[in-house]
Amino acid sequence: MSKILIRSGKLITASDIVEADILIEGEQIAEVGKGLKASDAEVIDASGKLVMPGGIDPHVHLDLPMFDTVSSDDHYTGGKAAAFGGTTTVMDFINQPDEGSFQSNLDAWHAKAEKASIDYAFHMNVTRIDDDILAEIPRLVDEGITTVKMFTAYNGRLRLQDGEIFKVMRVAAEHGMLPMVHAENGDVIDILVKEALVAGHTAPEWHALTRPAQGAADAVLRTAMLAAQAGSAVYIVHLNTAGGLDQIRYARGRGLPVMAETCPPYLFFSIDDLRGPDGAKWICSPPMRAKSDNVALWGGLEDGSIQTLGTDHCPFYFDGSRPIEYEGEMIAIPGKELGKDDFTKIPNGLPGVGDRLPVMWSQSVGKGLITPTQFVALTSTNVAKIFGLYPRKGCLMPGADADIAIWDPDRELTYGLAYSHHRTDYNLYEGWKLKGFPQKVFLRGHLIVDGDQWLGRRGMGKYLRCQPGAEVL
Ligand code: URP
Ligand code: ZN
Ligand code: ZN
């Protein structure tokens, strides 16, 4: 069995910072301690470096069909980009099939993910219910899926009615599963979008103007209270508003098991970014809001009202008519240009899976806004705990998978497309000066990123079965 000794690094976990060695045997961490000896191990000197559990991104959309195209990273390219940013596990969403049981899309997503380059788990979207579907939800647990995502928006497509959400939550709670909710007000959005188009408002900023922030606050509170009535915990995905955060605090303050994720763009960008000539680059749902929302969400990370940082990685080219080079091939995939005359036709989603850790390290820990241990909790440990992957993932303990990022806190770069590895033609953080990057990244003991070198392989990612009855944080 191969052995690797990572010597003299500063280990950062969700609870501690300690100087110690890590011995990896095969795919797992075998020992953690000071002065470890293993004469037959390959030794990696990590002095002056930080050693963290590989990042876990709770929210990505790889190879996702949307409008007349598909998100431009698949399970190979998205995993590779993630790894360069220090992330070793992603959680992807399966669409519910338009008819029949979940099975056809379970099979389809497993087939797509055969090329995965890092480990992955699945969430299931539930966008249509009847008695058969309700009966089938608990069987997802046998498939390793313990989460169901529902939508209070996208009327006529993805949305469930409140009573339907309540029914799904009740089934989920009975079986140790966790409902996840995309919380916006679908009825109001529907009306405002129709009115905007009639009035000839087709520019990207109308994407945000037709999805008012109050609708997110209303939907977060409604979701929290539906969960309370169903006796269920709930996880709000991609929280983007101060008002939504207020409702999370209100619910948690009353002891309700309500958790929330936010994503880096909601901490940095606002509707102003949609107003530029390249505004479509920032189009995703829910949308960028006001600078005051950015500030409030930072507060939610600092005080623990928000438990995870995901990305909602769902990239599209800005100009998909122009091919870009990817691993020696020229590739064009239709993207944001599909909506150049109509904001409702711009594919919704942003790149970010590889940006998450370097951008957040620099902007949060680097600026003293959160501590290194909070950083690890938000980007790895809490995710593993909430989704039933802990302690296999999300920690540096004997027996855990040896998913490890050796981090160089002194490496400085002007970040952007030239450094990030997403398969798309733009980066949201173009020109940002960042400090602190992964130097080496291990996936289950295999070195997959070494500096600027990619050593990972198509198909080396493993499917992870999430355990039901996971922690509520
Ligand atoms: O715009 C986004 N976020 N696209 C992905 C789908 C979703 O609602 O998460
Ligand atoms: Zn969503
Ligand atoms: Zn999403």
pLDDT, tens digit, 9 for 90 and up, residues 41-78: 999 999 999 999 999 999 999 999 999 999 999 999 99
Q: Are 388 and 146 in contact (CB under 8 A)?
A: yes
Q: For 45, phi and psi rounded to 5 degrees?
A: -85, 115
Take atom 4 of ligand 1 and give the residue whose Cα is closest.
349
- Which atom of ligand 1 is least distant from the CA of 151? 8
Cα–Cα distance for residue pair 261/143, rounded to 1 Å: 24
For residue 94, the CA-to-ligand 3 centroid distance in Å is 11
pLDDT digits (tens, 9 = 90+) for 138-189: 999 999 999 999 999 999 999 999 999 999 999 999 999 999 999 999 999 9
Q: How far is CA 203 from CA 275, 278, 376, in A?
A: 8, 10, 38
Planar angle of CA 166, 172, 174, nearest 5 degrees: 105
For residue 254, the CA-to-ligand 3 centroid distance in Å is 28
Q: How far is CA 70 from CA 86, 112, 343, in A?
A: 25, 13, 17
Q: How far is CA 440 from CA 43, 87, 119, 451, in A?
A: 13, 11, 17, 6
**Test site for ligand 1: of 313, 344, 348, most ligand atoms within 8 A of the Cβ:** 348
Ligand 1 binding pocket, CB closer than 6 Å: 61, 182, 284-285, 312, 314, 348-349
Given this model, what pLDDT does residue 68 score? 92
Q: Are 88 and 82 in contact (CB under 8 A)?
A: yes
CATH code that applies to domain 3-52+399-454: 2.30.40.10
Around ion ligand 3, which residues have CB less than 5 A away? 312
**Test site for ligand 1: of 125, 269, 312, most ligand atoms within 8 A of the Cβ:** 312
Residues paired with 412 in a beta bridge: 435
pLDDT digits (tens, 9 = 90+) for 189-213: 999 999 999 999 999 999 999 999 9
For residue 64, the CA-to-ligand 3 centroid distance in Å is 10
- Which atom of ligand 1 is least distant from the CA of 238? 9
Instruction: Report the percentage of the chain scoring pLDDT > 90.
Output: 100
Q: Are 319 and 336 in contact (CB under 8 A)?
A: yes
Given this model, what pLDDT does residue 270 score? 98
**Test site for ligand 1: of 159, 266, 284, most ligand atoms within 8 A of the Cβ:** 284
Domain boundaries defined on the chain: 3-52+399-454, 54-386
Take atom 7 of ligand 1 and give the residue whose Cα is closest.
285
Around ion ligand 2, which residues have CB less than 5 A away? 182
From the candidate CATH numbers 3.40.50.300, 3.40.640.10, 3.20.20.140, 1.10.10.10, the one assigned to the domain spanning 54-386: 3.20.20.140
| Predicted confidence (pLDDT) at residue 1 exceeds the cutoff of 90 | no
Nearest ligand (C-alpha, residue 282): 1
| Predicted confidence (pLDDT) at residue 384 exceeds the cutoff of 90 | yes
For residue 40, the CA-to-ligand 2 centroid distance in Å is 48
Instruction: Please provide the size of the chain in residues.
Output: 473
Average pLDDT of span 254-266: 98
For residue 10, the CA-to-ligand 2 centroid distance in Å is 36
For residue 396, the CA-to-ligand 2 centroid distance in Å is 31
For residue 63, the CA-to-ligand 3 centroid distance in Å is 13
Instruction: Report the percentage of the chain scoring pLDDT > 70.
Output: 100
On the question of a cis peptide bond just before residue 286, with omega within 30 degrees of 0, the verdict is yes
pLDDT digits (tens, 9 = 90+) for 440-460: 999 999 999 999 999 999 999
